[in-house]
Structure 1
Amino acid sequence: MSETASPVRRGRSLRFAAAFLVLLALVGYVVVQYVTGGGAPRCTVRTAEGDGPSYELTAEQAGNAATISAVGTTRGMPERAVTIALATALQESALRNIEHGDRDSLGLFQQRPSQGWGTPEQILDPVYASGKFYDHLAEVPGYSRLPLTVAAQRVQRSGFPQAYAKHEPDATLLAAALTGRASATLICGTKDGGGQGGDPAQVRAELARSFGPGILPKDRSGRGRGVDADAREVSVPVQSTAGVGEAGTGSPGGQGGGRDDDGARRGWELAHWAVARADELRIAEVSFGGRVWSAGKSDEGWRSSGTAERGTENVRIRIAQ
């Protein structure tokens, strides 16, 4: 009898060998990613109590969510409107600013240029797209009292209106943090613990785009700067947002509150925005309300800064060198 292996056995051995090599490559990749800290940075949002549900998302998703929220509150929309917008974007794009979709749909909300939502360039700008969503939502009578699916559907005209419902719990958690109602509840990691190369001018520009040009103090020339233009720290004064809400009345979340409560809420809105944008904008540290988040210690969350908490103060954003 021949000692030579049959073609079938040789083929089987080759397949096993190939599969083994693929497995080794996969294991090697996972080990390298673990050792080097590779992979997309992650963010986590929790309830204020810390013992309830949590939601994990990428830094890209968190940054887009922070923009959606900032545009809403700057327009005087209540927290419920932000929740509706976030749930809609979670369903339409998974909070990613995508350049494709059904027919000519684009961006966070899958808005269509052919349906009058704007040019493709405009729709792919998260600030513009968010503003257009809120424009349409504000035209829905009593939207804050409607079921989320109904309110979202009256804006989106989706073929699957019930799909928005499954995102409401996660959107509610995000909205509570990003509107500042829940303090110290959003934490994010960065690619290299803060790294290098942050641009304070870019941080100031993004603050102004998201929250409006009045968010930063003016220098003698009348331009919003937030301390020295060359400084590595941007200091944002906390200003109460009381007096705005649905249809321009009420508090930012549709609820009353004292001056200190409004100031604290505004501060945490700004602080959470900075943490959500930290990876993109190379933000190394954010402090407010006696708490501090650091990119290099992001696994420790919000730590005590060792300073006494006051009702209102500046949100301090330090940019990586």
Structure 2
Amino acid sequence: MSLVAAAVGAIIVVSGAEQPTTEPVAIDAALPRKTSAATRGGDRVPSTPVPSGSGAVPSRSSTPSRPPRPVTGLNQTQMNNAAVIVRVAQERGLPRRAMLVAMMTGLQESSLRNLANPSVPASLDRPNEGSGDNFDSLGVFQQRPSQGWGSVAQLMNPRYAAGAFYERLVKVSGWESKSPGDAAQAVQRSAEPDAYADHEERAIKIIEALL
């Protein structure tokens, strides 16, 4: 099991209901703001430029029993969500640059937390790590059901949310040649397009710890 695969299994079942765990887990099931998130004409947007690399990135370790401990500034829950972002990119055969763009987005939008939203009551019934209040934005990437990103249940699943982000990213013409911040902005359409760059250094460290 890779470091990422171990960390990705960050949801446990308690009394029949899924609940996120803040402890590292060694299972292969895959589910899981900057505190402020930019707003994209109604949408909340990610921000954290991240350096690029090319080609899908293999795991560095083959059979660790537990996920890596969080990098400085993150807790285990945030690191588990970061692992999901990396794992989903690997499963899709996406290059390291895609991971970096997505990681910066998660850092800017939610500080890598799976956020519910009181404006969307159903989200409060899903496993979550706090709540935001930006329109109907949900989850790690603060994606909006009303903007066609997915259902409430889907967007509150970090694995689905990461996949939805990557699907839109790869449809951006020339995204690989754009700066990570510009690529994130092309997906999120933030009212604060320059905010992503603030997260590049941390995003790099997180990804390096997971690969």
What is the TM-score of this pair, normalised by structure 2? 0.59
Q: Per-residue CA shift, 1:83-114, capped at 9, x if unaligned?
A: 11000000000000000231100000000000
Equivalent position amino acid for 2:160 in 1: Y
Distance 2:180 2:171 in 1: 15
Contact 1:72–1:82 (CA under 8 A) maintained in structure 2? yes
SS in 1 for 2:73: strand
- Aligned match for 1:130, one of 145, 148, 162: 162
Equivalent position amino acid for 2:150 in 1: G
Q: Per-residue CA shift, 1:5-40, capped at 9, x if unaligned?
A: xxxxxxxxxxxxxxxxxxxxxxxxxxxxxxxxxxx7
**Gaps in structure 1 of 5+ consecutive residues:** 1-39, 46-54, 181-321
Q: Per-residue CA shift, 1:129-184, capped at 9, x if unaligned?
A: 00000000011122222111110011011111111100011111112232x2xxxx
Distance 1:76 1:41 in 2: 28
Structure number with bigger Rg = 1
**Gaps in structure 2 of 5+ consecutive residues:** 1-21, 25-68, 118-132
Q: In structure 2, what is the equivalent of residue 99 of structure 1?
A: 116
Contact 1:79–1:176 (CA under 8 A) maintained in structure 2? no
Equivalent position amino acid for 2:188 in 1: Q
Q: In structure 2, what is the equivalent of residue 57 of structure 1?
A: 74
Equivalent position amino acid for 2:164 in 1: K
Q: Mapping of 1:14-93 within 5 angstroms?
A: 43-45=69-71, 55-93=72-110
The CA RMSD over aligned residues, in Å, is 1.6
Q: Mapping of 1:194-205 within 5 angstroms?
A: none
Tell me, yes or no, if structure 1 residue 111 matches structure 2 residue 143. Answer: yes
**Displacement of 1:41 after TM fit?**
6.7
Distance 1:41 1:74 in 2: 24
Equivalent position amino acid for 1:171 in 2: A
Distance 2:111 2:190 in 1: 15
Count of residues in Structure 1 that have an aligned counterpart in Structure 2: 131
Q: In structure 2, what is the equivalent of residue 155 of structure 1?
A: 187
Distance 2:115 2:180 in 1: 23
Q: Per-residue CA shift, 1:261-308, capped at 9, x if unaligned?
A: xxxxxxxxxxxxxxxxxxxxxxxxxxxxxxxxxxxxxxxxxxxxxxxx
SS in 2 for 1:121: helix
Identity of aligned residues (%): 47
